[in-house]
């Protein structure tokens, strides 16, 4: 993928690639120390972690893959873009890098993709942190199901594939302070999904809101495994897409977790409050 459109002042990292299931996955691997694996959601890619990586790479090894179909990874037209497949590929990715005793940070769809590994391999995970995401079935919640059903129609497909709906419409609406989604930052999400064919992974996630219930339900039944790990939860309280009432489920399931609420941030907390997140993550990972 041609990358001359990337502003290297914003994203000053070396690109690395691993072949997983016959396709190239792009990732960042910056710094030294205890590893942190960042697991992104939609319509994101490793660009969204840039400020956290820049702030933490002096103390930690920051590893941020682009899920297949996103960012600078391959975008096969026939790719399996289910949450289950992304989780399986992330597991292979982590194993290929030989990671052990590391931390996980995830959000949105990437939350369950990353925590799937933590639940399957708790002996390899030290601490977990996440924000504005879920790990339970959504198909019975009208807040998600109603929109997901619209996306299944010809009109929803048109909006996603032709007009890049999640980047051009959802992302601006998801910011608590819309001024923080500057045109230059927004451009990096637009150009990472430049054509209808490149947007299939993002579109597949809209179907997963209804279809991935069994995957999430199985993970949620094992959430007690995470209750044994130190956990830091961030939450953007102005998130209109994953509402604050979802935070209550996490607090009940993980009573040991430290919770930091950002009253004026929306869904993409790492874009709106990166300095505070770097500060809190550095303290959290350093503490015993």
Residue 209, CA atoms < 13 Å, CB-side half-sphere: 24
The dihedral sign for the CA sequence 204, 116, 255, 235: negative
Token couple for 279: 């500060």
Question: How far apart are alpha carbons 120 and 237 in whole angstroms?
Answer: 30
Q: Which helix (H) or strand (E) holds 102?
A: strand 102-107
Token couple for 107: 């959000």
Distance in angstroms between the alpha carbons of the first and the last residue of the chain:
42
Q: Please list, residue by residue across 45-67, b when 16 or more beta carbons sit within 10 angstroms of its beta carbon and e when fewer do.
A: bbbbbbbbbbbbbebbbbbbbbb
Taking the CB of residue 154, how many other CB atoms lie within 10 A of it?
7
Quick one: which of 41, 6, 20 has its CA closest to 236?
41
Contact 128, 229 (CB under 8 A): yes
Strands 61-65 and 231-236 turn out to be unpaired
Token couple for 275: 């300095």
Unique residue bearing structure tokens 């489920």: 249
Q: How far from 20 is each of 37, 113, 143, CA to CA, in Å? A: 17, 16, 35
Q: Which residues are marked as active site? A: 108, 239, 267
The strand pairing partners of 17, in sequence order, are 26
Taking the CB of residue 142, how many other CB atoms lie within 10 A of it?
9
């Amino acid at each position: 993928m041609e990358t001359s459109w990337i502003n290297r002042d914003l994203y000053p990292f070396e690109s690395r690639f691993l072949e997983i299931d016959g396709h190239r996955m792009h990732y960042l691997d910056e710094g030294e120390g205890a590893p942190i694996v960042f697991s992104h959601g939609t319509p994101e890619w490793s660009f969204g972690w840039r400020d956290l990586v820049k702030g933490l790479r002096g103390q930690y090894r920051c590893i941020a893959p682009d899920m297949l179909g996103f960012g600078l990874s391959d975008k096969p037209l026939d790719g399996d873009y289910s949450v289950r497949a992304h989780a399986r590929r992330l597991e292979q990715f982590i194993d290929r890098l030989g990671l052990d005793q590391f931390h996980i940070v995830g959000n949105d769809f990437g939350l369950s993709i990353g925590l799937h590994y933590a639940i399957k391999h708790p002996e390899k995970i030290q601490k977990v942190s996440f924000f504005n995401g879920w790990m339970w079935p959504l198909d019975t919640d009208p807040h998600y199901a109603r929109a997901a059903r619209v996306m299944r129609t010809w009109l929803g497909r048109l909006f996603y594939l032709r007009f890049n709906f999640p980047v051009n419409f959802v992302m601006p609406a998801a910011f608590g302070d819309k001024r923080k989604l500057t045109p230059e930052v927004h451009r990096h999400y637009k150009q990472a999904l430049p054509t209808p064919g490149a947007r299939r992974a993002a579109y597949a996630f809209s179907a997963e809101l209804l279809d991935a219930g069994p995957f999430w339900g199985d993970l949620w039944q094992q959430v007690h495994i995470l209750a044994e790990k130190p956990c830091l939860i961030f939450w953007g309280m102005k998130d209109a897409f994953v509402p604050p009432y979802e935070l209550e489920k996490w607090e009940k399931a993980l009573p040991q977790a430290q919770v930091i609420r950002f009253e004026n941030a929306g869904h993409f907390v790492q874009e709106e409050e990166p300095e505070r997140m770097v500060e809190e993550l550095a303290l959290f990972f350093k503490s015993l």
